[in-house]
Amino acid sequence: MKRRGVILLLALGAVLGIGAPALADGVQSGADVHVAQSLGDRDLTVIIRRVAEVPGPVHVDVVTHAGSPAGEVALTLRAAGAPSSTTRVELGAAPGFHSGLLHVDRPGPWELAVDEATIPFVVPALVPSPWENATYGGFIAAGVLLLAALLLAVSGRPGLALVPSAGVVAAVAVGVTAALLAPSIPPVAAPGTELDPTFDNVMNPYERTSITDFSRPPVNMVPRMEDKDLVLSLTDGSSGRPVDDLMVHDSAFIHLVVVSPSGHLRHLHPVRTAPGEYRARLRDPERGVHAVAAEIARRGGGVQLLRSGVDVAGSAVAPVHDGKAETAMEIREAGRPSTITAKFGERDLQPWLGMLGHMIVVGPMTGGAAEAPIWAHVHSMIPPVPGMPGKPDESVAAYGPDVPFTYSFPLPGRYLVWIQVERDYSIVTVPKVVDVPAAKGVASK
C-alpha cells in the first residue's frame, strides 16, 4: 500500500512537472512605431510605444525639435473610424519628449490622430501558434496518459495499462514532432505589412493564404500647392484608386525631399490627411519650380522613388543652410565607390529617422534639380548594440562625431550633395558640391 502511494506521488509529480504552458509571443511581437511628421509649422516625431496588454494603455511620445512653436496637440485613437480615447499633450517651447496616455480595448487595426494627421498602426493579439498548441498538448496528453498507465499498473491490471502506454508514445511523438518542425515552418503573412489588417486577421494570424507575392503596383504622385502647404495626391498606377497602404519605413510614411531653384533642400515627412492625400508645409519658400522626390513603401514591400516638380509662388530671397562641418572627400571616377566623411567635432549626435546621418545626392546638374538624372538618399548607419534589439530613439545623444557615406556616383559631372544629422533636437544640413570625374577610357555622357 505504502509503495503504491509512492508510485502515485511520483506519477503525479511527472504530470505536474510538465506544468502549464507559458504563452509565447504571437506572430507579431510588436515594437515601438516611430513616425516623423511635418505637421503644420512643427517637425514632430511621434512614437507609439509597444502595447503590452490589451485592453490596456498606449503610451505615445511626441518629440519636438528646435524651432517648433509651443502649443497643444490633440491625440485621438480610432478603431474602424470610431474614436475611442482622446487626450491633449502640451508641447513646451524647449525641444524634447512630451508624453500622452491613451487606451485600446481590443487588438486590431487602429489609427492615431495627431490633430489633422492620422497614423494607422496595428495592435497585435497574443495568439499561440498551432504548433505551440500541438507541442504543449502532446506533452500534457502524454503526462495524463502516463498517470493512467501507472494507476492501471498499480491496481493490478498491467495488461490494460498497455493501452495508455501506447498513447504516451503517440502523444510524445506528436509533441516532439511539432517542437522540432516549428522552427522550419514558414512565417504567416503579417497583417499590416503584407495583408490589409482587419480585426479578424489580427485575432487569427495563423490563417494561411494562397498569396505568395504581396507586392503592389507603382504609384503616381501629383504635387500641388495649397496656400503654404505642399499637397501630394497618391494614386495606384494600375487602378487609379487612392493609395492608402503606405508603411512606415525608415521612420516615416513618406520621405519627401524638396530642392528649391537655388539649391536649398528640405527633408519633410508629410502627414496623412485623407486616403491618398499627404501634406507638408513649406515655410518661407523661394519662388520658382521646386524639384520634388518622395520615397514610399506600399504594403507588401518594396520602396519606390517618385519624382516630380511643383511651381511655388514664394519670395525672391533664397534661404541658405547654416550647417557647417569639415568633410573629407575621397571621390573616385563614376561607377566606383566614393566616400564622403563629415566631421562634426563632438560625439553628441542623435539618431535621426533611425540613422546616424543622411546624404541626399542630386545630379549631374545641367539645369534644374528636377531634371537631374540621378537622385539618391544615402544612409550612414548606427552600429547595432549586441543584445539590444530595436533602435535607440532620439533621446540618445552619443553618436558621431564622424559620419561616413559611401556612394558610387553612376555618372560623371557636378552633383549637389546635402549631409543631414541631428544635434540638440535640431536638423543640421551641410550642403556640398561634388565633381565626379569620368571613368578612364569612357566618354562622359
Partner 1 sequence: MAVVAGVLAVVAALVVLWPRGVETQPHLAETGQLRFELTPVSTRSGSNTFDLRITDRSGNAADGDVTVEPAMPQMGHALAPITAAPQAPGRYRVAGVDLFMAGQWEITVSLRGERVVIPLLLT
In this structure, what DSSP letter does residue 168 have? Answer: H
Task: Extract the C-alpha cell encoding 228.
Answer: 503654404
325 makes contact with partner 1 (CB under 8 A): no
CA dist 31 and 87 (Å) reads: 22
Query: Closest separation between CB of residue 205 and partner 1, Å?
Result: 11
CA dist 149 and 300 (Å) reads: 52
Contact call for residues 235 and 242 (beta carbons, < 8 A):
yes
171 makes contact with partner 1 (CB under 8 A): yes
What residues numbered 107-146 form the site for partner 1, per CB under 8 A?
A: 133-134, 137-138, 140-141, 144-145
Query: Closest separation between CB of residue 109 and partner 1, Å?
Result: 9
Instruction: Please provide residue 144's backbone torsions phi and psi, each rounded to the nearest 5 degrees.
Output: -65, -45
Which residue lies nearer to partner 1 by CB, 203 or 378? 203
Secondary element (H or E) of residue 236: strand 229-236
157 makes contact with partner 1 (CB under 8 A): yes
Contact call for residues 11 and 146 (beta carbons, < 8 A):
yes
236 makes contact with partner 1 (CB under 8 A): yes
Query: Closest separation between CB of residue 220 and partner 1, Å?
Result: 12
Which residue lies nearer to partner 1 by CB, 79 or 231? 79
Query: Closest separation between CB of residue 281 and partner 1, Å?
Result: 24
Contact track, partner 1, 42-81, x by CB under 8 A: --------------------------------------xx
Please measure the distance between the N-terminal and C-terminal CA atoms of the chain and give it in whole angstroms.
Answer: 98
Contact call for residues 420 and 428 (beta carbons, < 8 A):
yes
What residues numbered 264-323 form the site for partner 1, per CB under 8 A?
A: 275, 299-300
155 makes contact with partner 1 (CB under 8 A): yes
Contact residues for 82 (Cβ-Cβ < 8 A; gap 6+): none
Task: List the beta strands (DSSP E) in 126-191.
Answer: none
Question: How does 186-212 read in b/e, with b if 16+ C-beta sit within 10 Å?
Answer: eebbbbbbbbebeeebbbebbeeeeee
Which residue lies nearer to partner 1 by CB, 27 or 434? 27
Which residue lies nearer to partner 1 by CB, 215 or 408? 215
Residue 242, amino acid: P
Q: Determine which residue in the list 163, 317, 396, 442 makes contact with partner 1, applying CB under 8 A.
A: 163
Site residues (CB under 8 A) for partner 1?
80-82, 133-134, 137-138, 140-141, 144-145, 148-149, 151-152, 155, 157, 160-161, 163-164, 167, 171, 195-201, 204, 207, 209-211, 213-217, 236-241, 244-245, 275, 299-300
